[in-house]
Structure formats: structure tokens, C-alpha cells
Amino acid sequence: MKKIVVLISGSGSNLQAIIDECKSKSIQAEIVCVISNNPTAFGLQRAKSAGIKTLVLNHKEYQSRDLFDNELYKILKNQNADLIVLAGFMRILTEKITKNFYGKIINIHPSLLPKYPGLNTHQQVIDNKDIIHGITIHYVSSELDGGPIIAQGEITTSVDGDIDNLIERIHTLEHELYPEIIKYICDNRINIYSNEVKFKNLSLEGTHIYKKYDI
């Protein structure tokens, strides 16, 4: 069975979706550890309630990003996970992590990359009156939100510009698509070779999975 480590910074709603799918055996894997840079992250309680080991690596206790990542590297290496899942982990990782674990780390980003990397994606969608919005799941590289894309999910936006409703719908989409992609990776139906994502018996649109949702 594959071993997963999940990195979080906040409430851990995506973590909970992954926990539920592992518990139901839909994802053939075990979450062996949940790591947070935020000691008050509610996601830590979610993990503890599920009997999952937790570790806190408070970035405020480190004088530099490099020192923090050096310690995180040691922890990840010791965990020897098959897959490292970033689920609302609000830290930019240095090459110490991205290069040494390349092909093992995935991230979920709330936009249809390459559009709107970084923060405040929902507000940018509203400000620019975009008619579609969505999420991107990708392998993590040294480029911020720039690694090879695995999957994207799309929703249509509403004309009222209600950001809270938009965020809620994106979260619903994340909780559906992220566990699905993790399942495929753990089933060896998604892999990466020489910066190219390879898919086995999965429907693609172009170079990756692309799904439209009525949420």
C-alpha cells in the first residue's frame, strides 16, 4: 500500500476529503503523517481524530526559509512517502524540497493555470469578469505554481460576483477532484517521466485531465 504525507497550513478540508477516501478504500493508500507549519491549524485535529500521526514545524521558529526547508527535508526523507500532497500548505518551497522530491509532490491551486498563479485568485476572476473559474492539480517544481499539470476542473461563474459563493463552489470541486487524482496516482495510472505526465486508461483533453462541473 502506498504511503502519503500531507502538508497543511489551515482548516484541512481537502485533507478531510482525502482521509475519507482512504478510509473507504477508494484510495489504496495510508496517510502516514500530516505536517503543518501552523501549530493552530484545525487540520491537525482532523488528522488526530483519524488516528494519523501529526508533526508541527512552525516556520516562525526558523530564521530563514532555507533553515525551515532543511528541517522539512529531513522529516520528509525519514517518512519515505510515495506521495507528498500539499493541501493548503501556505509556504513556498525551496529547491531543497522541489528538486529532491520532484515527481513525488503534488499541489492543488485555485485557478485554471497558467492563469492567476499565486494568491487572491477568486478576486481576480471576479475583477476580470471571467465566465469560468476552476482548479489545477499539478506536480510541484521550483517554479511557483508552474509544475506539469495533471488535471483541471472548471466551473462557470455567476454574474452577481458573490466571492463567498464562488469560494464555496471551488472548495466543493477541490474535494471531489483532488482525491480522485490521488487515487489514480496511487493506482499507478498517473506517473511522470522526464517532466511529462503519463496517463493510463484515462480520458484526456489535450495533455491532461480536464473536467467541467455543474456545481
Q: Let me know if 109 is a catalytic residue.
A: yes
Q: Which three cell numbers stand for residue 23?
A: 478510509
Q: Catalytic residue, from 59, 109, 122, 138: name it.
A: 109
**Contact between residue 92 and residue 121 where contact means Cβ atoms under 8 Å apart:** no
Q: What is the rounded CA–CA span in Å between residue 82 and residue 93?
A: 18
SS3 16: helix
User: Which residues on adjacent β-strands are paired with residue 210?
Assistant: 152
Backbone angles phi, psi at 87, to 5 degrees: -125, 80
Q: Which three cell numbers stand for residue 203?
A: 480520458
Q: Which residues are tagged catalytic?
A: 109
